[in-house]
């Protein structure tokens, strides 16, 4: 049996951690990781107190010792806290093997060593005790019982104690022929078998901590096979079909409405034309504009479009009048001033433009 120390810190040495474990404890943990966590520390903490929210608590040295006495072999580690610290519907991710106290930086700490799956030991790097405590004016006077230890990842949670973190990982292997390299940190490779053996809650937390989305893990065809998600995809497809049918109906109704509006505009276009004729036009000029007017060929039949048609027609009339030598123009002060220039028998402008 050989012990490999990983993630070495200056707070606990390899030799010290070995001294806290008996050969029987190491043998019992074969194939698992033995993880050291600081679970309580002399000084201040900022825990969530059930029913009262976040509080500032001061932990005297004697209470830290009491925590050590309460964190006994067999205390379970769970994935994060629940609402009431009960163990109902919570699957443990590890078990305390032993605990001890150590003064670090002038403050006493309670350190627990727990046996965990290797995959769990790598993800859960912070912890928080679940305990019944006595306090007065923010000072903890005693600890009745530590009912469990919640572990989590520092990317999604903060521990109540500043240093309530993973301190050391000890892995117990059955191989005797792998040379030990003291002082060198060993990198761990997680196998597929280890991931498959991990609890679903741990896999879920790993996905959350990496901020991964379902579409990064599964394609749509795979998600459609899920009993809970298949109905969502079916509803989506049904709604897509209904939406297309409604859009088609809306398009048809819109076209019908546009056609009806167009017919109404065409039928009233002549009256609109007459109402928009400027004052001072002769019957000949009005007749020319009305005969040229073809509402079916016009894109728009609003007042602005009709006014533009009349203005353009006035120009056309003037050009034709000049072409045939008719002195009548659209200007009222010039109308019919020079009609004597026509000889008897000449074709009049009326006959040229209005002849059937």
Spatial distance between the Cα atoms of 194 and 186, rounded to a whole number of angstroms? 18
Is residue 302's pLDDT more than 80? yes
In the chain, where does DSSP find H-type helix? 14-19, 23-28, 61-70, 118-123, 192-197, 200-209, 214-217, 220-224, 227-275, 283-292, 303-323, 349-354
Considering just the CA atoms, what is the radius of gyration of the chain in Å? 46
State residue 259's pLDDT score: 81
The rounded Cα 191 to chain-centroid distance in angstroms is 31
Higher pLDDT, 114 or 195: 114
Spatial distance between the Cα atoms of 169 and 125, rounded to a whole number of angstroms? 10
Spatial distance between the Cα atoms of 196 and 124, rounded to a whole number of angstroms? 17
pLDDT (tens digit per residue) in 126-162:
888 888 888 888 898 888 888 889 888 888 887 767 7
Higher pLDDT, 316 or 16: 316
Cα-flanking dihedrals φ and ψ of residue 188, to 5°? Answer: -100, 135
| % of the chain with per-residue pLDDT over 90 | 15
Cα-flanking dihedrals φ and ψ of residue 336, to 5°? Answer: 65, 15
Return the DSSP state at 159.
-
pLDDT (tens digit per residue) in 134-143:
888 889 888 8
State residue 119's pLDDT score: 83
State residue 234's pLDDT score: 86
pLDDT band at 215 (very low <50, low <70, confident <90, very high): confident
Is residue 340's pLDDT more than 80? no
Cα-flanking dihedrals φ and ψ of residue 25, to 5°? Answer: -65, -40
Q: Tell me the mean pLDDT in the region 238-263.
A: 87
> How many CB atoms neighbour CB 289 within 10 A?
21
Select from 331, 286, 342 the least CA-distant residue to 310.
Answer: 286
Distances (CA, A) of 129 to 44, 79, 165, 321: 14, 12, 12, 105
Characterize the bridge pairing of strands 92-104 and 76-79. antiparallel
Strand partners, 103: 108
Which residue has tokens 């309530």? 164
Q: Where are the extended beta strands (E) located within 123-177?
A: 126-136, 139-152, 166-173
Q: Tell me the mean pLDDT in the region 193-216.
A: 76
């Amino acid at each position: 049996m050989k012990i490999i120390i990983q993630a070495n810190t200056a707070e606990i040495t390899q030799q010290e951690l070995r001294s806290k474990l008996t050969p029987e404890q190491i043998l019992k943990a074969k194939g698992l990781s033995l993880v050291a966590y600081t679970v309580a520390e002399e000084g201040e903490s900022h825990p969530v107190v059930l029913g009262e929210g976040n509080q500032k608590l001061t932990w005297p040295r004697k209470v830290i010792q009491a925590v050590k006495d309460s964190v006994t072999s067999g205390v379970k580690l769970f994935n994060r806290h629940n609402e009431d610290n009960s163990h109902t519907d919570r699957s443990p991710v590890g078990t305390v093997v032993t605990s001890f106290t150590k003064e670090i930086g002038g403050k006493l700490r309670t350190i627990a060593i727990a046996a965990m799956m290797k995959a769990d030991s790598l993800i859960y790097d912070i912890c928080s005790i679940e305990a019944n405590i006595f306090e007065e004016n923010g000072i903890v006077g005693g600890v009745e019982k530590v009912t469990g230890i919640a572990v989590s990842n520092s990317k999604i949670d903060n521990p109540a104690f500043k240093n309530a973190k993973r301190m050391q990982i000890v892995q117990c292997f059955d191989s005797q022929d792998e040379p030990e390299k003291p002082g060198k940190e060993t990198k761990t490779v997680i196998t597929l078998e280890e991931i498959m053996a991990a609890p679903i809650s741990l896999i879920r937390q790993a996905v959350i901590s990496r901020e991964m989305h379902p579409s990064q893990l599964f394609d749509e065809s795979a998600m459609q096979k899920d009993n809970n998600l298949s109905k969502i995809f079916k509803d989506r497809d049904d709604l897509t079909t209904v939406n297309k049918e409604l859009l088609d109906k809306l398009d048809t109704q819109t076209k019908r409405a546009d056609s009806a509006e167009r017919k109404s505009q065409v039928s009233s276009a002549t009256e609109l034309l007459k109402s928009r004729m400027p004052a001072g036009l002769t019957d000949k000029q009005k007749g020319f504009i009305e005969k040229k007017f073809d509402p079916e060929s016009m894109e728009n039949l609003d007042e602005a479009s009709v006014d533009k048609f009349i203005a353009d027609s006035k120009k056309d009339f003037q050009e034709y009048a000049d072409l045939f030598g008719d002195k009548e123009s659209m200007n009222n002060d010039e109308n019919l001033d020079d009609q004597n220039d026509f000889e008897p028998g000449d074709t009049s402008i009326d006959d040229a433009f209005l002849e059937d």
